[in-house]
Amino acid sequence: MKNLYKSLIICTIIALVAASTAPVFAGNRDRSGQAGASHLLIDPWARTSGLAGAGVAEVRGLESVFTNVAGLTAVRNMELSFNRTQYLVGSQANIALNSFGVAKKLGKNKDFGVLAVSFFSQNFGEVMVTTNDQPEGGLGYFSPVLTYIGLHYAKSFNNFIKGGVSIKIINERIADSRATGFAIDAGVQYVTGKFENFKIGVTLKNIGLPMSYKGDGLSVRGTITNQQYEQTLEMRSAEFEMPSLLSIGVSYDLLFFGQQYAGMTRDELSGEGLTRDDAEHRITFAGAFTANSYTRDVFSLGLEYGFRNIFMVRAGYALENISKGAQSDINETAAILFNSETFFSGPSVGASVVIPLTAERKKHTIGPRIYLDYGYRFTNKWRGNHYMGVKVTL
């Protein structure tokens, strides 16, 4: 009964915080394009991209540094992961995303939390240099690069509440100009249920000061008419805001245990300390709502099936919210529902194969493993995004 009251109190607090914060982050299509550093909104991890952003509550492990940093608490000892994304396949931009991360649990006998470092890079290939005098180019090429480095920390406060925070240093550069800034993420996950199978997640992302570009690219050399001499003048670029957002999600694990537990009641199974890692079959339902500050709000739904924690297949769908100014006509409503303002068309799929590195004979234990992950997000232009990743858990 005490656990029930505690669950109700925490759920109420989370709901009140979300309700009071949501108007501040309410999506506004009229502000689309006014924020910068949009690469902060790209999920670079293959394992979570298949759920289309619906894993705010259920995400766990190193991939949670993007979706909800509180999920880092699931790291048992150490995790390393590398992911590569073929972005907008078929476009001439030849865009590639690379992400790398390492997470380490602090302390052996006591839980001092989990510390992680991640790196993200987005490359656009070579772009021809042009000027007003030579608009056709011929001056060489340059390579725009968008990067950020993240430092993440998460800790379990008890068996129910997990929290985390991230600090990201952001850098955008072209040949002769660059912008640098920082942003903060914070996330909370609440876990309950007999098998820890019901979760609630809330995360605030990309909270930071405005950024602006500086460098020689904003300088021009001109002649002062009165003094008849040349002088270099520097123009100031306009500042741009961070793409801040608020995400709220829930998830539920439907667990089916093996024949060795046949005939046992739910209370007896719970007494064995079983969780999703011990299930022979698992079906996870996930949903999330993302309130964007500078674009439409997004509803996401996800479904994942896991077999003995060695094979997972997942699918997701992201639906942009209807704007208040939409007409009531059925055709107009359908157009708003199924025609995104971004190039994402909604669906996403993914799968993971797990290779155990040692025999796992003890109950409730998971040894070193290699995860091979793949994700695909459909787009309404070109041929979609392919995500490929490998993760090693020690």
Whichever domain contains 288, its CATH number is 2.40.160.40
* pLDDT of 25: 46
Q: Is residue 159 part of a domain?
A: yes
Q: Is residue 223 part of a domain?
A: no
Question: Which residue range forms the structural domain that includes residue 355?
Answer: 2-212+240-393
Q: Contact, 207 vs 244, CB < 8 A? A: yes
- Classify residue 353 as left (phi > 0), alpha (psi -120 to 50) or beta: beta
Quote the CA–CA distance of 101 and 117 in Å, as a whole number: 6
DSSP state of 380: S
Count, residues in the chain: 394
φ and ψ of 362, to 5 deg: -80, 145
Q: Is residue 66 part of a domain?
A: yes
* pLDDT of 363: 59
Q: What is the mean pLDDT of each run of 10 residues along the chain (394 residues)?
A: 49 49 50 79 94 94 95 95 92 86 89 95 86 81 91 93 95 88 95 91 94 81 64 77 94 89 79 83 95 89 94 94 48 48 85 88 73 94 92 94
Q: Is residue 235 part of a domain?
A: no
Q: Contact, 43 vs 66, CB < 8 A? A: yes
* pLDDT of 300: 95
157-162 contact pairs (CB < 8 A, 24+): 159/191, 160/6, 160/7, 160/10, 160/190, 160/191, 160/192, 161/10, 161/188, 161/189, 161/190, 161/191, 162/70, 162/71, 162/73, 162/188, 162/189, 162/190, 162/191
* pLDDT of 65: 96
* pLDDT of 28: 55
Q: Is residue 217 part of a domain?
A: no
* pLDDT of 24: 46
* pLDDT of 4: 46
Q: Contact, 379 vs 346, CB < 8 A? A: no
Quote the CA–CA distance of 227 and 204 in Å, as a whole number: 54
* pLDDT of 174: 84
* pLDDT of 328: 42
Q: Is residue 373 part of a domain?
A: yes
Q: Is residue 221 part of a domain?
A: no
Q: Is residue 257 part of a domain?
A: yes
* pLDDT of 30: 60
Secondary structure of residue 298 in the 3-state scheme: strand
Number of domains in the chain: 1
Three-point CA angle 67, 74, 114, nearest 5°: 90
